[in-house]
Amino acid sequence: MELVPGIKLAVQAVLAEKYNHRIDSQDVLVNETKPEFKGDYTVVLFSYSKILKISPDALGQGIGEFLLNSNPDWFSEFNVIKGFLNLVMADNILIDFLHTQYNNASYGSQSVNGKRVMVEYSSPNTNKPLHLGHLRNNFLGWSVAAIYKTLGYDMIKTCIANDRGIHICKSMVAWKLFANGATPESTGLKGDHFVGDYYVLFGIELKKQVETLMTSGLAREKAEKEAPLMIAAQKMLVDWEAGVPEVIELWKKMNDWVYAGFDITYKRIGSDFDKIYYESQTYLLGKDLVEIGLAKKVFFKKEDGSVWIDLKPDGLDEKIVQRSDGTAVYMTQDIGLAERKYEEYHTDLSLYVVADEQNYHFKVLKLICQKLQLPSAAGLYHLSYGLVELPSGRMKTREGTVVDADDIIDEMTSIAAKHTEELGKVDDFTEKERKELYDTIGLGALKFFLLRVDPKKRMVFNPDESIDFHGFTGPFVQYAHARIKSILRKESMGEYSGSEITSLLPLEKELLISLEKYSSLLQQACTEMNPSLVANYVFSIAKIFNSFYSEHSIGRAESEYKKQLRLRICVMTARVIQSAMSLLGIKVPERM
RNA sequence: GGACCGGUAGCUCAGUUGGAUAGAGCAGCUGCCUUCUAAGCAGCAGGUCAUUGGUUCGAAUCCAAUCCGGUUCACCA
């Protein structure tokens, strides 16, 4: 039995038995006791005091005495201050907890529950390289999937490659006109960067053409439409849809370059997918649903032949689902893809990790699926996250302020290398071991930085200040782990049955109380789809451990049994750190 | 203009089903490496929780209004 639920049940029982007051144990308010008061957990009594018409003080005394008498193995003391009942947990229950769980490799995880969840994340455009925003998306999606998986869900990680459309044609046109047959191989560039350069070039050249046209008297809007480059891109899109062989061939060639580049980055950051959907293969999905929607009178047709849904009764506007020329729009594709996913995987839940700019889109998507009574509707959930911004605001391709993913990863690993070399603690490492360690630390810092913030909130990244390696960071947590491993290499586990030690020092107890919370913390992180809770938790574990470590000697503990107890605390702390960090996609080193 | 999101220390963020004197990290300042890794520990300093009013035993948290910032409302994706 976990501590907090146990306390809630105990309080529920007291209220029923002693005060004849029945409540749901879930409603008992149990907090961690503030450091300035004596105790571990605090029950807030104001609401019961009011209902039962007993003063908070008397009620606290009554409940406290009852709890101590009925659960002497759980509670050792209590005190009441105003309406707060502070409970001191018995050292023995924590010592027992340690003894039974310290070596449990699956501590915190749950057995398979038969539910299936799909999470779509990353979903890049195949015309430019990944940037910092994509990294937040990738880390988030991957981590949420890992958290679900450890709690027993069958996870399917997926990604939709936005591999077609006008934006793709732009880089194709630019390459055709300006590249003179250059390739990633001939230039030595990574494929996604190579193609991205042509996408940027298209923008530059287009701007020139537009300006020329405007000096000859055209309005900007018209000039943008009539610039030869734009006309060429539009034509290429039409040719692509018509399947013109040379266009298809070029499209395939350039996309393959991009995928080769993405593969390198994905491999480096540890992103992986069980299934990849390609927009080029799914963009026509949903067209048949337009007919079904019309038949069900969920959609209606306007005079020009365009098809719409009226969402005004739901507080929204009318939304188009098919153009007057009969072509599909983004929304319709997404409805089709939602159905396709459901047919293929029969998911209980289908998550979309997509930036909060698209909140409205997903609200509408879910509504339409519901109105069409599609089976995919119920589990459809938009896991919305905030953009990564610069101190000056959004990153803009045009202003060259986009923080490139490969660049930032390189920067992080080289800072890790510099720090490590300065400290000189791993001078005996081989070249390969060092490189691995720099990756572990650099990526650890980057992932932790992006995951420690509540996903729903936008966050600021300042390129002028490199991401920290001290304090509330990945390397801080990794360091605590490396320290523990260092101890465990030097000291050996010995005789200890779990009953030789009967009392704990404050830091030992604090650490055990925190370790005990891991399971419920994971449940919460899963329910809220929020890896930042895991990041905050594992940081606090590392912090308490570091205090414990500097306050108490483990190898030279006061007694052999105390040493054995502390070694077990070390083992368990290392396990929890390793486990929690792995859910964030972060490795922990044996030495650093 | 409508809808939605946000405003907490110099900076980056926790804390918001209402609970005790609002917490971390960074930056700044003091101490601590002849004993298990100082990427660390201990401490100091730093706040009108955007503003105003309301609800109540109690409000950063709930309600209303206002100010500021962002996103969105395309026959774009």
Q: For A51-80, what is each residue's pLDDT tens digit?
A: 888 888 899 999 999 999 999 999 999 999
Which nucleotide is closest to the Cα of A490 by its C1'? B36
User: A96 pLDDT band (50/70/90 cuts)?
Assistant: very high
Residues A71 and A187 placed together within one structural domain of the fold: no
Residue A488 reports pLDDT greater than 90: yes
Statement to judge: residues A59 and A199 lie in one domain: no
> Which nucleotide lies at the shortest CA–C1' distance from A303?
B75
Please report whether residue A454 resides in a domain. Answer: yes
Residues A77 and A181 in one domain: no
A555 located within any domain: yes
Measured CA to C1', what is the nucleotide nearest A333?
A: B77
Q: Which of the nucleotides lies closest to A471 (Cα–C1')?
A: B25
A388 pLDDT band, cuts 50/70/90, is very high
Q: Gap from A360 CA to B73 C1', in Å?
A: 8
CB A307 within 8 A of CB A329: no
Query: Looking at chain A, how many residues does it have?
Result: 592
Residue nearest to nucleotide B40 (CA to C1'): A546
Using the predicted structure, report yes or no on whether residue A398 has a pLDDT greater than 80.
no
Examine residue A207 and state whether it is found in any structural domain, yes or no.
Answer: yes
Given A260, A277, A294, which residue is the final one in a domain?
Answer: A277
Amino acid at A363: K
Q: Which nucleotide is nearest to A356 (CA to C1')?
A: B71
* Å: A170 CA to B46 C1': 52
Residue pair A437/A520 in contact by the 8 Å Cβ criterion: no
Q: pLDDT tens, A515-567?
A: 999 999 999 999 999 999 999 999 999 999 999 999 999 999 999 999 999 99
Separation in Å: B55 C1' and A85 CA: 27
Q: Is residue A433 part of a domain?
A: yes
Count of the separate structural domains present in chain A: 3
Distance A477 CA to B3 C1' (A): 42
Instruction: Tell whether A122 is covered by a domain.
Output: no
- Say if residues A388 and A395 touch (Cβ distance below 8 Å): yes
- The CA–C1' separation of A392 and B66, in angstroms, is 27
Nucleotide with C1' nearest the A38 CA: B20
Q: Is A252 in contact with A134 (CB distance < 8 Å)? A: no
Protein-covered nucleotides on strand B (Cβ within 7 A): 2-6, 11-15, 17, 19-21, 23-27, 35-42, 57-58, 70-77
Which CATH number is A552's domain given? 1.10.730.10
Tokens of residue A284, six digits: 């026509």
* Residues A432 and A575 grouped into a single domain: yes
Q: What is the CA A546 to C1' B20 distance in angstroms?
A: 28
Nucleotide nearest to A462 (CA to C1'): B12
Instruction: Based on the fold, state whether residues A437 and A576 are members of the same structural domain.
Output: yes
Q: Which pLDDT band, with edges at 50, 70 and 90, does A480 fall under? A: very high
Q: How far is CA A409 from CA A142, A181, A208, A266, in A?
A: 17, 30, 34, 12
Residue A565 sits in the same domain as residue A441? yes
Provide, in whole angstroms, the distance separating residue A43's CA from nucleotide B60's C1'. Answer: 22
CA/C1' separation A236–B10 (Å): 53
CATH code of the domain covering residue A54: 3.30.1360.70
Categorize the per-residue pLDDT at A36 as very low, low, confident or very high, splitting at 50, 70 and 90.
confident
Q: Are residues A421 and A559 in the same domain?
A: yes
**What does the H/E/C string look like for A94-127?**
HHHHHHHHCCCCCCCCCCCCCCEEEEECCCCECC
Residue A141 in domain: no
Write out pLDDT tens, residues A228-241: 999 999 999 999 99
Domain endpoint, select from A277, A303, A336? A277
Q: Is residue A383 in some structural domain?
A: no
ipTM over 0.85: yes
Q: Do A459 and A549 sit in the same domain of this protein?
A: yes
Q: Where are the alpha helices (DSSP H) in A151-286?
A: 166-178, 184-187, 191-215, 220-226, 228-242, 245-269, 279-282
In a shared domain, residues A568 and A421: yes
Domain edge (last residue) among A41, A70, A89: A89
Q: Express each pLDDT in A416-475 by its tens digit.
A: 999 999 999 999 999 999 999 999 999 999 999 999 999 999 999 998 888 999 999 999
Contact call for residues A458 and A387 (beta carbons, < 8 A): yes
Mean pLDDT of A85-89: 96
Indicate whether A342 belongs to any domain.
Answer: no
Task: Tell me which residue range forms the domain holding A42.
Answer: 3-89
Give the Cβ contact number of residue A444 at 10 Å.
Answer: 27
